[in-house]
Amino acid sequence: MNTALLPIIIPLAGAAALLLFSGRRQAWAAIVVMALSALSGALLLAHTAAGPLSLRMGGWPLPIGIAVVADPLSAFFVFSSQIIFTLGFVYALGSKDACVRKPIFFPLYLTLAAGLNGAFLAGDVFNLFVFTELLVISGAALTALSDDPRGTEASLKYFLLSLAASGFLLMAAGLFYASVGTLNFADLARSPNEVRGPGFLWALALLTAFFATKSAVVPFHFWQPDFHTAAPTPVHAVLSSVVVKLGVYGFFRLTLLFPDQAGPLRQGLLVLGATGALLGGMGAAGTNDLKRMLAYSTLGQIGFITVAIGWGTPESITAGLLFAFHHSFIKSSLLMLAGAVASRAGTKGADFSNLAGLGRASPRAGILFLLAGAALAGIPPTNGFWGKFGIFRAGWEVHGTWGLLALAIAGGITLIYTARAYLRVWGPDVPATAKSAGDRLWAPFVLVGFCILMGIWPGPVWELADRTARWILDPTLYIQGVFP
């Protein structure tokens, strides 16, 4: 048994098995399955330290056979997403929402995890399509289940745009196949530059559009705030922190695997990322809904990572990876805290007018929110500082003046909107309509703990990001790993 398959098989098999249970027992079983999956993610990280694990499904020779490739980059993203997913499950266990009691909730949550892992580990374009569809349908169904009555509408928006994005991916697959006769990423990367016709460039462009839709990079972001706001809190916490990282992963992959074509792509990512950082920040500062604010903030922070990928130096790649890792922890904890506070509201919804003063009832959530908010704004001694510090330093070294300026403004806006959210929610007195109990704070407590720990002791994650960056900067290593 190859470790590369475990993060896909465990959640998938677990989802099927969970249909046999219901109620509390199902929730605990789901957490056990997810924890096993997280363990397999850690195992994967350890096994890929030396080089990629490549697996041919059914023993078919590559490039015709379906390849599952776990290289350090995939393992890095699988590992971080599995931790967040596990804590998302813990949050769902302590949630007061009605939708988490539905017997289909946890199986769908597990297929969401399986789809995400599969997409990270896919070794060819078509396999990427299959796992993304699994991810999309699970995510859309989970949001349609939401207690929020706007869930169906949000789900429809997301699903329509995702179908369009999948269409881009299929077109990219067709064009890749027509121009070089293969769909395997490693085989595509080793195809000589002379045989890549104009179709290859179009395919890369379509693939970029697909990844941009997945990550809600600026011109493709319209679904994101609506969809994420209406999702149930435990699902929102993973959607807005790790599921959006699929596109970021794709950008790392594309820019580093096709260095001959990466120039214009990097330029594009630089512009779109800077725009996204500004637009996301302004959207977050302008909205009147706490969950929506955090969804817009994801748009902005993804912009930071995209700009780092656009600079494309070893330092900026390291910093981008580091911030992607840290952002998962920060954003998911903030979302869980927002959801926990909103769960005490008399009426459903996360509008600031609805939440005003509710925080007073749970001062512990307030402390955690302040810490996580400081991390989002990049204030030491939290982990967010190191990621942003790395990005700014890398930008300084390449003299990326405009990008730096945009990011600095966006960073300032981040501080403004997190502070405003804190003052609006924790400032006024507790309203009379507040419920006495809300969602449990176990999961955000652990996540904020990690944020502080990684801020005080940034070494291990930094080393991991550095090692991963050094590995992916040489595309021949990936090709040799798949075709020894």
Check residue 167 for interaction with other proteins (CB under 8 A).
yes
Of 169, 291, 163, whose CA–CA distance to 227 is shortest? 291
Among 28, 177, 422, 483, binds other proteins (CB under 8 A): 177
Token pair recorded at residue 107: 């199986």
Which span (88-96, 172-180, 274-282, 364-372) binds other proteins, by CB under 8 A?
172-180
Measure Cα distances from 102 to 21, 27, 222, 305, 442 in Å.
11, 10, 29, 36, 22
Which span (175-183, 315-323, 357-365, 458-466) binds other proteins, by CB under 8 A?
175-183
Which span (73-81, 133-141, 209-217, 311-319) binds other proteins, by CB under 8 A?
133-141
CA distance 234 to 236: 6
Which span (144-152, 245-253, 367-375, 473-481) binds other proteins, by CB under 8 A?
144-152
Among 19, 46, 60, 181, binds other proteins (CB under 8 A): 181
Q: Which residue in this structure is represented by tokens 């992916």?
A: 472
In the complex, least distance from residue 155 CB atom to other proteins, rounded to whole angstroms: 6
What percent of the residues of the chain are helix, what percent strand, and what percent coil, each to the nearest 5?
Answer: 75, 5, 20
Token pair recorded at residue 212: 């941009």
CA distance 216 to 218: 6
Which span (104-112, 163-171, 461-469, 475-483) binds other proteins, by CB under 8 A?
163-171
Neighbours of 152 (CB within 10 A): 15
In the complex with other proteins, the residue whose CB is nearer, 207 or 230, is: 230
307, 277 contact by CB (below 8 A): yes
In the complex, least distance from residue 170 CB atom to other proteins, rounded to whole angstroms: 5
Distance, C-alpha 391 to centroid of its chain:
18
Neighbours of 150 (CB within 10 A): 14
In the complex, least distance from residue 149 CB atom to other proteins, rounded to whole angstroms: 7
In the complex with other proteins, the residue whose CB is nearer, 196 or 388, is: 196
Check residue 330 for interaction with other proteins (CB under 8 A).
no
Check residue 313 for interaction with other proteins (CB under 8 A).
no
Check residue 235 for interaction with other proteins (CB under 8 A).
no
In the complex with other proteins, the residue whose CB is nearer, 299 or 321, is: 299
56: DSSP letter: E
Check residue 423 for interaction with other proteins (CB under 8 A).
no
Measure Cα distances from 3 to 8, 60, 322, 370, 478 in Å.
10, 19, 24, 39, 17
Task: Write out 138-196 in H/E/C secondary structure.
Answer: HHHHHHHCCCCCCHHHHHHHHHHHHHHHHHHHHHHHHHHHHHHCCCEHHHHHHCCCCCC
Check residue 104 for interaction with other proteins (CB under 8 A).
no
Among 13, 160, 195, 405, binds other proteins (CB under 8 A): 160
Check residue 349 for interaction with other proteins (CB under 8 A).
no
Provide the binding-site residues for other proteins, judged by CB under 8 A: 64, 126, 129-130, 133, 136-137, 140-141, 144, 149-150, 152-157, 159-160, 163, 166-167, 170-171, 173-175, 177-178, 181, 183, 226, 229-230, 287-289
